[in-house]
């Protein structure tokens, strides 16, 4: 799998999600749901996987095509205009509506910094409603974008009543962004006649809204009536609660967790699980499944419990497993850090082997990019199946990466799959950012794909109130790396790490293992007592190392790493393990 390292700083999830759920989008969704349902009823899996453009267009009714040609993107103009549609030349089949509705191809081209080339199609519109159609029936990512100019030179154009709502309106020029989910992907070549017009950027994820060609997928781990995978998280106090989560097929409608103190032979205490129905329309061999979460409360601190989960109605149960609650009072503990796991089986092997060599590990954190594509359930199936040998006994506490919330469509599956604390900032999705306390350490998990400002305000508040000996931040994009910089994050969050002396920051994204010297305000300082140590890592096979930058104390290229971090009252130690058990990085912070 090729992993593109996106440089987008954040996505306005709330705005995009609100727009996508509006009534007109439900019309598109309803049409595509009807189309896909008919396809499932009339074609076998092999035919679905082999569906081509001609078959797709022939399968859609004229009434459905009319909706798909007019309700994908629309807005009002107050004067006659010319609308330009920038169509990526790599998409070999034009959207069916483009020529049919009167758009004509020009000789103009537009280019961006990645070298993507767009041909310009134009059509005049009178004052009133402008209606545009889907990006196509294929699963082509670079969605077309639009600019609007007056038919008569010098006339001001006012645009209004957008769908999707909250449309950005920018100036068409070099340096302008075209995708809100990749803000640094800017235009490098714009025809003079289009410069100064009103540019309407979009998100790349909209290209999948009507995708049925090359879009049907399958999971290697379809659900059944047996709970699998089973995994642990925390949404409340790790000393007295435990989240247990699992997946089944839709035949199973009830679930409980049975828990008792290990070795007690006492009766199990049952906790009823909440459930949700997850529908991934294009997952052909397992479209719908049920996801269960049992929040077990009233547990004793520092106690090992054994448990099973399942359905009393169906009498289907998981294999027994165990977990241990956090201690009431601080004592030494150990946790694992992984990053950029991308649904790789190799990562699961690495993590299990590392646990076998370090059985005192209490829980695991992942600094983003758990999967390759965050809205494709088979990726989550693989990540959780490969992680289950660890996660069924050690809780996993993740952060959102750009692949988990890919293409501007939000992190909906991630948020459905993981039960996490809802104590994060207002203004972003619950559970996207959060904090939790374990022993004498407090962890601050941030979401690089949501707005930075509300998280910074929240982070200032929780850091100012923290009395933890150790403060550890976890998020995906690194503040220090070889080739990618995030000045907005550095200004908003890095300054707070300096002010409140966060000890350790764990990140990923760049697929390298790098550890900084202690840093403060972008500069190296003498000791961890004066600054923060930044660790960026990767848990799948990666490329060779580049030149080590000046701020970097340890740099290990190639391979995959699982970091084991030991914490006690006065010392924090990190060791980076390869799968063979060799230690590639070993450092400590002393209090």
What distance in Å separates the CA atoms of residue 386 and residue 236, rounded to the nearest whole number?
25
Query: What pLDDT does residue 236 have?
Result: 99
CB 148 within 8 A of CB 161: no
How many residues in total does the chain contain? 591
Nearest alpha-carbon partner for 350 in 232, 163, 176, 513:
513
363: left (phi over 0), alpha (psi -120 to 50) or beta: beta
Tokens (6 digits) for 274: 């909440």
CA distance to 3, 334, 336, 566, 588, per residue, from 571 (Å) = 36, 12, 16, 8, 7
Query: What pLDDT does residue 18 have?
Result: 37
Element (H, E) at 437: strand 434-438
CB 399 within 8 A of CB 367: yes
Q: How many CB atoms lie within 10 A of CB 514?
A: 27
CA distance to 55, 365, 369, 402, 507, per residue, from 5 (Å) = 34, 21, 10, 9, 14
Cβ contacts of residue 470 below 8 Å, gap of 6+?
440, 441, 442, 503, 504, 567, 572
Query: What pLDDT does residue 313 have?
Result: 98
Query: What pLDDT does residue 26 have?
Result: 56
Per-residue pLDDT of the chain in tens (591 residues, 90 and over written 9): 333 333 333 333 333 333 433 344 458 999 999 999 999 999 999 999 999 999 999 999 999 999 999 999 999 999 999 999 999 999 999 999 999 999 999 999 999 999 999 999 999 999 999 999 999 999 899 999 999 999 999 999 999 999 999 999 999 999 999 999 998 899 999 999 999 999 999 999 999 899 999 999 999 999 999 999 999 999 999 999 999 999 999 999 999 999 999 999 899 999 999 999 999 999 999 999 999 999 999 999 999 999 999 999 999 999 999 999 999 999 999 999 999 999 999 999 999 999 999 999 999 999 999 999 999 999 999 999 999 999 999 999 999 999 999 889 999 999 999 999 999 999 999 999 999 999 999 999 999 999 999 999 999 999 999 999 999 999 999 999 987 889 999 999 999 999 999 999 999 999 999 999 999 999 999 999 999 999 999 999 988 878 899 999 999 988 999 999 999 999 999 999 999 999 999 999 999
Q: Which domains does the chain have, with CATH numbers?
A: 13-208 (no CATH), 218-327 (2.60.40.380), 330-572+581-590 (3.60.21.10)
Query: What pLDDT does residue 526 have?
Result: 97
Nearest alpha-carbon partner for 337 in 306, 313, 368:
368
What distance in Å separates the CA atoms of residue 150 and residue 79, rounded to the nearest whole number?
7
Rg (alpha carbons) of the chain, rounded to whole number: 26
What distance in Å separates the CA atoms of residue 587 and residue 585, rounded to the nearest whole number?
7
Nearest alpha-carbon partner for 310 in 394, 234, 250, 254:
254
What distance in Å separates the CA atoms of residue 573 and residue 303, rounded to the nearest whole number?
25
Q: How many CB atoms lie within 10 A of CB 125?
A: 17
Nearest alpha-carbon partner for 278 in 267, 291, 268, 265:
291
Query: What pLDDT does residue 406 have?
Result: 80
What distance in Å separates the CA atoms of residue 338 and residue 508, rounded to the nearest whole number?
9
Cis peptide before 164 (omega within 30 of 0): yes
Q: How many CB atoms lie within 10 A of CB 345?
A: 13
Burial code (b: 16+ CB inside 10 Å, e: under 16) for 70-84 equals bbbbbbebeeebbbb
Q: What is the DSSP string of 307-319?
A: EEEEETTTTEEPP
For β-strands 470-474 and 562-567, DSSP reports them as unpaired
For β-strands 504-507 and 533-536, DSSP reports them as parallel
CB 446 within 8 A of CB 455: yes
CB 262 within 8 A of CB 279: no
């Amino acid at each position: 799998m090729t992993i593109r390292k996106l440089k987008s700083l954040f996505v306005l999830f709330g705005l995009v999600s609100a727009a996508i759920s509006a009534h007109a989008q439900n019309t598109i969704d309803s049409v595509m749901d009807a189309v896909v349902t008919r396809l499932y009823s009339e074609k076998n899996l092999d035919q679905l996987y082999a569906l081509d453009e001609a078959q797709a267009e022939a399968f859609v009714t004229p009434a459905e095509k009319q909706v798909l040609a007019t309700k994908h993107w629309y807005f009002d103009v107050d004067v006659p205009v010319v609308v330009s549609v920038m169509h990526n030349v790599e998409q070999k089949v034009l959207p069916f509506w483009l020529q049919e509705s009167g758009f004509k191809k020009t000789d103009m081209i537009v280019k961006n910094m990645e070298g993507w080339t767009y041909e310009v199609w134009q059509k005049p519109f009178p004052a009133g409603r402008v209606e545009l159609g889907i990006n196509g029936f294929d699963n082509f990512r670079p969605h077309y974008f639009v600019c609007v100019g007056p038919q008569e030179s010098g006339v001001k154009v006012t645009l209004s009543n957008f769908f999707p709502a909250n449309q950005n309106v920018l100036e068409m020029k070099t340096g302008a962004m075209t995708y809100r989910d990749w803000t640094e992907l800017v235009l490098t070549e714009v025809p003079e006649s289009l410069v100064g017009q009103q540019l309407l950027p979009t998100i790349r994820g909209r290209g999948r809204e009507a995708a049925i060609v090359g879009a049907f997928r399958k999971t290697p781990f379809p659900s059944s009536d047996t709970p699998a995978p089973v995994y642990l998280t925390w949404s409340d106090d790790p000393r007295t609660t435990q989240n247990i989560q699992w997946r089944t097929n839709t035949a199973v409608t009830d679930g409980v967790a049975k828990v008792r103190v290990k070795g007690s032979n006492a009766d199990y205490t049952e906790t009823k699980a909440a459930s949700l129905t997850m529908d991934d329309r294009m997952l052909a061999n397992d479209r719908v499944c049920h996801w269960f979460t049992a929040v077990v409360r009233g547990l004793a601190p520092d106690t090992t419990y054994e448990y099973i989960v399942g359905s009393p109605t169906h009498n289907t149960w998981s294999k027994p497993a165990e977990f241990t609650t956090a201690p009431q009072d601080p004592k030494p503990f150990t946790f694992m850090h992984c990053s950029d796991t991308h649904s790789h089986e190799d990562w699961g092997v690495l993590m299990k082997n590392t646990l076998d060599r370090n059985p005192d590990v209490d829980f695991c954190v992942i600094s983003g990019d758990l999967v390759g594509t965050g809205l494709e359930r088979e990726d989550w199936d693989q990540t959780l199946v490969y992680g289950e040998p660890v996660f069924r006994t050690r809780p996993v506490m993740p952060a959102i990466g750009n692949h988990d919330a890919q293409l501007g469509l939000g992190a909906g599956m991630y948020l459905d799959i993981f039960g996490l604390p809802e104590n994060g900032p207002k203004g972003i999705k619950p559970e996207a950012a959060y904090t939790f306390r374990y022993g004498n350490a407090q962890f601050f998990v941030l979401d690089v794909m949501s707005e930075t400002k509300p998280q910074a305000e929240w982070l200032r508040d929780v850091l100012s109130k923290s009395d933890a000996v150790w403060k550890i931040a976890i998020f995906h994009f690194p503040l220090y790396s070889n080739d990618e910089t995030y000045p907005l994050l550095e200004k908003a969050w890095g300054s707070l790490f300096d002010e409140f002396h966060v000890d350790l920051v764990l990140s990923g994204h760049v697929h390298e293992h790098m550890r900084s010297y202690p840093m403060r305000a972008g500069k190296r300082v003498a000791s961890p007592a004066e600054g923060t140590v930044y660790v960026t890592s990767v848990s799948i096979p990666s490329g060779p190392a580049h030149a080590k930058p000046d701020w970097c104390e340890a740099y290990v290229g190639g391979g995959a790493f699982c970091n084991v971090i030991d914490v006690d009252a006065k010392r924090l130690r990190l060791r980076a393990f390869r799968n063979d058990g060799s230690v590639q990085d070993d450092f400590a912070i002393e209090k």
